[in-house]
């Protein structure tokens, strides 16, 4: 075979081609880039949907409005979300995660679990004044998900934290051990009710001030101060 013949040229890698060493695109690399693009698209759609749900509410926001606002194709949107309710669920998870982070930040410098409980509860009540939290978590979520499912989210998240804080309160003599679980549910219900009152108030700023004061006093009356050393607390 002569060098440069047609058959030889057909088996030779052209400069810059995928056959040339060092220019191959590995299948795994393509997959990773596709996954990254998909994740970026999903996050962008959630961001746009969060803004629209917060401004217009669930009923006032159409899936078409989210599609137009995000600039994605209909097929791309439905690839990530089966429908409007699935999109709202993803938005709720995202907003809830950010609310949880804010609550954790409020609690992290507390000197003990009882102080952390107070800080976290008041932080949640203050979040009711935020338009995104108010509309998505407090107004629309119970209606879209149903009251029972909305309550289950609390039981999977903050209820356990509240219970742990109250267990410490029992150990330090502030409450009876037998009341820890019931008190945790009462406290969670109280915090949510105050937040709902603020969310639906005609004057949210005034309702927020009143709600903070009432919740703080409620905690004072429930927990009080730890008994002095050597003095027994409530009976178990």
The closest alpha carbon to 90, from 82, 154, 68, belongs to 82
Q: Where are the domains of the chain?
A: 22-81, 91-236
CA-CA-CA-CA dihedral for 117, 122, 125, 127, to nearest 10: -100
Binning pLDDT at 50, 70 and 90, where does residue 5 land?
A: very low
Q: Residues 184-192: what's their mean pLDDT?
A: 94
Domains 22-81 and 91-236 belong to one CATH topology = no
Q: Do 140 and 53 meet the contact criterion of CB atoms below 8 Å apart? A: yes
Please tell me the pTM assigned to this model. 0.76
Q: Where do the H-state alpha helices sit in the chain?
A: 6-10, 27-56, 63-70, 74-80, 84-107, 113-127, 131-132, 141-145, 147-156, 158-171, 180-200, 204-223
Q: Residues 203-226: what's their mean pLDDT?
A: 90
* Cα separation, 32 vs 37, whole angstroms: 9
Residue 9, pLDDT above cutoff 50: no
Q: Which CATH architecture has domain 91-236?
A: Orthogonal Bundle (1.10)
The closest alpha carbon to 52, from 98, 90, 88, 8, belongs to 88
* Cα separation, 91 vs 46, whole angstroms: 6
Q: Which range has highest mean pLDDT (3-12, 34-43, 160-169)?
A: 160-169
Q: Which of 11-15, 31-35, 119-123 has the lowest mean pLDDT?
A: 11-15
* Cα separation, 184 vs 163, whole angstroms: 5
| pLDDT given at position 29 | 60
Binning pLDDT at 50, 70 and 90, where does residue 197 land?
A: very high
| pLDDT tens-place string over residues 13-27 | 444 444 444 555 565
Q: Do 117 and 106 meet the contact criterion of CB atoms below 8 Å apart? A: no
| pLDDT tens-place string over residues 68-98 | 999 999 999 999 999 999 999 999 999 999 9
User: How many other C-beta atoms lie within 10 A of the C-beta of residue 171?
Assistant: 14
| pLDDT given at position 28 | 57
Residue 10, pLDDT above cutoff 50: no
Average pLDDT, the chain: 84
Element (H, E) at 225: none
Binning pLDDT at 50, 70 and 90, where does residue 114 land?
A: very high
Q: Which CATH architecture has domain 22-81?
A: Orthogonal Bundle (1.10)
| pLDDT given at position 17 | 44
């Amino acid at each position: 075979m002569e060098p440069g013949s047609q058959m030889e040229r057909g088996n030779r890698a052209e400069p810059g081609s995928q056959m040339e060493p060092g220019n191959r695109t590995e299948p795994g690399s393509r997959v990773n880039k596709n996954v990254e693009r998909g994740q970026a698209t999903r996050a962008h759609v959630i961001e746009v949907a969060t803004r629209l749900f917060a401004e217009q509410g669930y009923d006032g926001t159409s899936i078409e409005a989210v599609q137009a606002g995000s600039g994605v194709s209909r097929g791309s949107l439905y690839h990530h979300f089966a429908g409007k309710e699935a999109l709202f669920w993803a938005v709720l998870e995202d907003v809830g995660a950010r609310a949880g982070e804010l609550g954790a930040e409020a609690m992290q410098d507390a000197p003990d679990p009882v102080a952390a409980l107070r800080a976290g509860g008041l932080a949640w009540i203050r979040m009711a004044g935020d338009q995104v939290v108010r509309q998505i978590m407090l107004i629309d979520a119970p209606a879209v998900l149903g009251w029972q499912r909305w309550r289950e989210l609390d039981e999977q998240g903050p209820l356990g934290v509240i219970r742990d804080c109250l267990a410490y309160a029992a150990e330090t003599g502030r409450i009876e051990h037998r009341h820890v679980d019931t008190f945790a549910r009462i406290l969670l219900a109280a915090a949510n009710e105050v937040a709902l009152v603020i969310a639906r108030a005609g004057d949210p700023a005034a309702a927020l001030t009143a709600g903070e004061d009432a919740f703080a006093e409620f905690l004072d009356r429930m927990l009080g101060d730890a008994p002095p050393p050597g003095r027994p607390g409530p009976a178990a």
